[in-house]
Structure 1
Amino acid sequence: MQTTATVGRPRTVSWVLTARPTSDGDDVNLYRTIGDSSLRELDPFLLLDEFRSEEATESLPGFPDHPHRGFETVTYLLAGRVRHADNKGHQGVLEAGGVQWMTAGRGIVHSEMLEQQDGRIRGFQLWLNLPAKDKMVPPRYQEFAPEAIPQITGPNGEHIRVIAGRVGAVEGPVRGIATDPLYLDIALPPHSRFVQPVPVGHTAFVYIFEGQAEIGAAAEAPGEPRGERQLAVLGDGDSVTLVTGETPARLLLVAARPLDEPVVRYGPFVMNTQLEIWEAVQDYHTGKF
C-alpha cells in the first residue's frame, strides 16, 4: 500500500458540492450529488446516491421493477441487505460489505428491495456510462460477497477496501470495465496522511461520508477540511493526497476514464442520440428488454 509517495503532479480540488436530499424509487430517501441539478454528470459518472436509514421499520421502501439501458450501476452496501431480481431470471441478496456491478447494456428490468439489519441500512449507488460501442452488449453482473473485497490496513491504521483498481500490489475484484475504474473505500484515523496514484486524464472525485479530511493537501500547503456528504471534484494529476486532523474520516475515492461522447438521457436510459432514446423506450414498452 502507498501511504507516502513521490508524485509529479498531485491533484487539487476543483469544485465542492454538498449532497442534496431527494427521493427515488418507492419513496427511498437519498442524498444525491452527481445527477443532481448542480452536477448533471461528471464524465463518465452519471449519478451518485447515498441511501441511509437507522430507524427500524417493518416496511422499508425500495426500487420495484424498473428498466436500464446503456450504462452500469454499482451498488456498494455498508449495512443491511439489498434483495434483487431481474427479468432474465437472476436473483440474489447483496449483504453488508458486498458489491454488485451491473452492466445493463442493451436492456434489463430489475428490482432492488432494501432490508434492514439491526434497524440499519446504508450504502451507495453509482452509475457509470458505457461507451457507444458497448451500449448494446448483453447484460451481465459482477457480484462480490464482503469477504471477496480485498482489505488493507496501513502502518498508521488507515483501512482501505479495494473494489476496483489497485492500491499498491492489491487489485480489486471488478474486472473488464471499459472505463478502467478505481473505486476505494478509505477509512483514515486522526492525524494521518494517505497518497493514492490516479491515472492522468481520468475523472476523479472524493465523497466523504464520515468525519472530515483535507483533500489535495501537502505539508507546505494545507487544504481546507471537507466534511460529511461533501463531494470534491478533483483536477487532473497523477495522485490524490488525503489528510486528517483531530477527526477521523471515511470516504470514497473514485476515478475512471472519461468517454468524451455525446450523452442523451431519459430516466433510466442513457444513449448517444435522441433516436437511440426513442428506440429504447419503444423496445421497453414492446417487451424487448
Structure 2
Amino acid sequence: MKIRRIQKAQATSDGAGVKINRVAGFDGKSLDPFLMIDELRSEDPKDFMAGFPPHPHRGIETLTYIRKGGFEHQDQMGNRKAIQAGDVQWMSTGRGVIHSEMPLSDKEGMHGFQLWLNMPAKEKMRAPRYQDSTKQPAKQVMLDETSYFTALAGTWQVGEMQLKTALQELAGQSALADVWLQKGAHLQVDITQFAKVMIYIHTGQLESYGEQTLIELDSDFLLDMVATNNVGFLLLAGQPINEKIAHMGPFVMNTQEELQQAVRDYQMGRFGDIV
C-alpha cells in the first residue's frame, strides 16, 4: 500500500443540526471526482433525529450508505424509500432535486455516510436520476471466516473475483466498497484502473492511522495488504473530472453565473416540490 496523502475529517453539523464528521474537497482537486465525505455516527438521538428536512441540489450526485439505523428518503420525483442498514442510494441531481432525509428510529443509533460526487459540466443540466440497492443488495465476498469486502457501487476486482454492482452510472466512473478486516486478514484489490483511490477508516486502525482518517493511495500499484489490526474502512475510487468548480451550499456548478441561476431557479420553484 503506497500512500500519496493523508487528511483528517473535521467535526461539523448540517441539515437541522445533525452532527457529522466531514472531509471536504471543493477545490476540485484533492478528492476529484468526489467533493465531500460525510460520516454520521452516534448512539445519541439528539445528534441525528432532527435529520435533513427538504432542501435543493443541482450539479452533484449523492451516494448514501447506511451501516446502522436508517433514513426515509423523499424527493420531488415521487421517490419515497426507507434506506436501512446495508442499503446504498444514488441520486444524480442534474438540473435540480428537492429531497429530504429523515431518521426512521432513535432506538438503535446511526452510522452512515453520504458522499458527494461532482458531475461533468455537460451533464449538470440533464434530468435527475434516482436508484437504490433495496431490491438488488450489495455484493459481498468473504476473505476469511470474519473478514469481508462488500461492493456497494461500480465494479471491483478482488483477487480472482469480479464484483459488479447494480450502481454502474456514477459520475467519474466512481466505485465504493466497505471492507472489514480482522487482524491478519489478506486483501488484494486491483485499483490500477482508477486514477483516484482513497481509504476512509471508520472503525479500528489501519497501520498507524486511526478512525476518521482519509488516505489517498497510489493507484499505479495493486492494493495488497495484510491487516495488522482489526479495521473497517470505505474504499473509494474514480476518474477525476478535472473541471473548474463554483460551489455554494447545495449547488455545485462551473461558474458563478451558473450558481446565481441555480439560486434564481430554486427561488422561483423550478425544482418542484415533494408531494
Q: TM-score, normalised by structure 2?
A: 0.90
Given candidates 101, 121, 127, the residue that maps to 2:90 is 101
Q: Distance in 1 between matches of 2:59 and 2:121?
A: 8
User: Any stretches of 5+ residues in structure 2 without a counterpart?
Assistant: none
User: Any stretches of 5+ residues in structure 1 without a counterpart?
Assistant: 1-10, 215-224
Given candidates 120, 124, 148, the residue that maps to 2:137 is 148
Q: Distance in 2 between matches of 1:59 and 1:185?
A: 22
Letter matched to residue 74 of structure 1: L
Give the match for residue 219 of structure 1.
none
Q: Alpha carbon RMSD of aligned pairs, Å? A: 2.2
Q: Is residue 271 from structure 1 mapped to residue 264 from structure 2 by the alignment? A: no
Shift of the alpha carbon at 1:157?
A: 4.1
Q: Distance in 2 between matches of 1:259 and 1:58?
A: 34
Q: Distance in 2 between matches of 1:54 and 1:254?
A: 26
Q: Is residue 213 from structure 1 mapped to residue 206 from structure 2 by the alignment? A: yes
Shift of the alpha carbon at 1:35?
A: 4.1
Shift of the alpha carbon at 1:62?
A: 0.5
Secondary structure at the residue paired with 2:114? strand
The alpha-carbon distance between structure 1 residues 115 and 36, as it changes in their structure 2 partners (threshold 3 A), is: farther
Q: Is residue 26 from structure 1 mapped to residue 16 from structure 2 by the alignment? A: yes
Q: Distance in 2 between matches of 1:271 and 1:133?
A: 11
Q: Is residue 70 from structure 1 mapped to residue 59 from structure 2 by the alignment? A: yes
The alpha-carbon distance between structure 1 residues 115 and 242, as it changes in their structure 2 partners (threshold 3 A), is: farther
Q: CA offsets, 1:49-95, max 9 Å, x none?
A: 10012125698120111100001001100111101111232211101
Letter matched to residue 115 of structure 1: L
Shift of the alpha carbon at 1:133?
A: 1.1
Given candidates 62, 65, 68, the residue that maps to 1:79 is 68
Q: Is residue 243 from structure 1 mapped to residue 229 from structure 2 by the alignment? A: no
Secondary structure at the residue paired with 2:173? coil
Q: Distance in 1 between matches of 2:140 and 2:107?
A: 24
Give the match for residue 284 of structure 1.
266
Q: Distance in 1 between matches of 2:261 and 2:16?
A: 26
Secondary structure at the residue paired with 2:172? coil
Letter matched to residue 288 of structure 1: R
Q: Distance in 2 between matches of 1:56 and 1:281?
A: 33
Q: Is residue 13 from structure 1 mapped to residue 6 from structure 2 by the alignment? A: no
Residues 143 and 186, structure 2, Cα contact 8 Å, conserved in 1: no
How many pairs does the alignment contain? 267
Q: Distance in 2 between matches of 1:282 and 1:56?
A: 35
Q: TM-score, normalised by structure 1?
A: 0.86
Residues 212 and 244, structure 1, Cα contact 8 Å, conserved in 2: no
What percent identity do the matched residue pairs reach?
Answer: 37
Secondary structure at the residue paired with 2:49? coil
Shift of the alpha carbon at 1:255?
A: 0.5
